[in-house]
A and B are shown apart, each in its own frame.
Chain A
Amino acid sequence: GENVEQHPSTLSVQEGDSAVIKCTYSDSASNYFPWYKQELGKGPQLIIDIRSNVGEKKDQRIAVTLNKTAKHFSLHITETQPEDSAVYFCAASKTNTGGFKTIFGAGTRLFVKA
């Protein structure tokens, strides 16, 4: 069935360093790839997304890359700060007739050490 693999499950970096989280997806028809950040006690919040017609997207310290041929996509956080510590989820979805069935990765717990 459809699935999304996410690595690593845990990532610890020093403040100011970069963090990279990688995901692969199985359904070649997937065309929308959002990334969510979940802080303690809250639900996942969209932080950035990328569509299949784009290879890279950047928003301040966050960037995403997509390789459709290899079916993988990555989240890059530069100049990490303690408030970046959270669980990050990648996801893949595809347009269907009524909406979007979204398949999530298992999450990456990011620790940013001050």
Chain B
Amino acid sequence: EAGVTQFPSHSVIEKGQTVTLRCDPISGHDNLYWYRRVMGKEIKFLLHFVKESKQDESGMPNNRFLAERTGGTYSTLKVQPAELEDSGVYFCASSQGLGGGADTQYFGPGTRLTVL
């Protein structure tokens, strides 16, 4: 079974440019999460999709960030325009979506974003 994949693995852009990150969850997983880790700090929750719907986007930093999950399969996270503080590693995770109990999240390898 293929795991969670993310593309690209690295991205270096200049301040003001646009970047789009992609996440392909494990096939059949209804839940998809985006997280970000800034150097040396905690992994911070950004948002959570259940299928194509945004369940919780309370962690999105501001309106420069736009996440989509059309059709409930892969997801994209667009940053426009990028700022220096957006640099970090962006992780995607997916989970099956079992009702009632805790649900193991499987993480992708992350996209390292550097904004110069």
Contacts and interface: CB of A to CB of B under 8 A. Distances in A.
A36 interface: yes
A99 B31 contact: yes
A101 B56 contact: yes
Interface string A36-69: 1000011111100101000000000000000000
Nearest to B6: A43
Contact of B95 (A4, A43, A49, A99): A99
Contacts of A104: 35, 42-45
A109 B79 CA distance: 29
Give the size category of A's interface with B.
Answer: 20 to 34
A106 B104 CA distance: 20
A102 interface: yes
A105 B56 CA distance: 20
Contact of B48 (A89, A95, A99): A99
A74 interface: no
Interface residues of B, number: 31
Contacts of B40: 9, 106-107
Contact of A100 (B43, B44, B58, B102): B102
Contacts of B95: 99-100
Contacts of A98: 48, 50, 55-56
Contact of B42 (A4, A45, A96): A4
Listed from nearest, the 4 A-B pairs whose CB atoms lie closest are A43-B107, A32-B102, A104-B43, A98-B55
Given A99-B103, A106-B40, 12 more contacts: A6-B42, A34-B104, A34-B105, A43-B107, A44-B107, A49-B104, A95-B100, A98-B55, A100-B103, A102-B45, A104-B42, A105-B42
Interface of B: 4, 31, 33, 35, 40-45, 48, 50, 55-56, 58-59, 91, 93, 95, 97, 100-110
Interface of A: 4, 6, 9, 31-32, 34, 36, 41-46, 49, 51, 89, 91, 93, 95-96, 98-107
